[in-house]
Structure 1
Amino acid sequence: MGLVAINLLGGVLASLAFAFVELRPSLPFLFLTTLLVGLILGGWAATSSPLAKLYGGALTTFLILFGTGLSPLPASTPESFSTRIGFVLFALAYTLCMTALLWRAGRAAENSRMA
């Protein structure tokens, strides 16, 4: 469940930052947005808290999604960003479904061994 939380937090923050940058698309605004999110998540990741790994992973996910979503690729920026967010959401849904299926199968096998 930790990876799900990491990807979800990083994806939500990347979506919010993308929407924020699209309000006023300029290089200083992009820099300040990335700096703000990087400092917040990086600061939390540098603590000795048990959640530090979550924030470090979310920062990595944020930078990957936000950076590739804004990079000059052949497709338009909103299209490429929404595609990457869609891929992350699909991966999250797949992970949750497979976890639910395998968890039930593991419990059923454990119960049959006990009986």
Structure 2
Amino acid sequence: MANVLKSFLITNEDLSDDTSPSVARKFLNEAKSTILTLQRVVKQRMTIETHNWASSAHQELHKIEADDSLAKHKALELEFERLLKAVVSQDVMNIVQKESVVDTLDLQTELERTKELFENYI
């Protein structure tokens, strides 16, 4: 490994007090301004990305909740229908077993009335 040492000769005219610090200050101010602009752009992009992600997650959550609610509603509908059929079946059995029903015409009338009630519930 070789050490390289190089000297620079700068005249006093090149380093006059009224230009060198002002040039350096101007350069530093421009660099600072550029860094601040980049920070703002990065922050805006992160905010937009976060907002997009949150919005997407929010929509997905609502979809899941809606799907879950629909599934629960459908399950309740099926359970209600099953229970209603069981009640109607029990009503039909009661009509058939009733001692007061003497002829077939009365039985038919009772069954039709029960059927209409069932259809009105559905």
TM-score (structure 2 length as normaliser): 0.33
More helix by share: 1
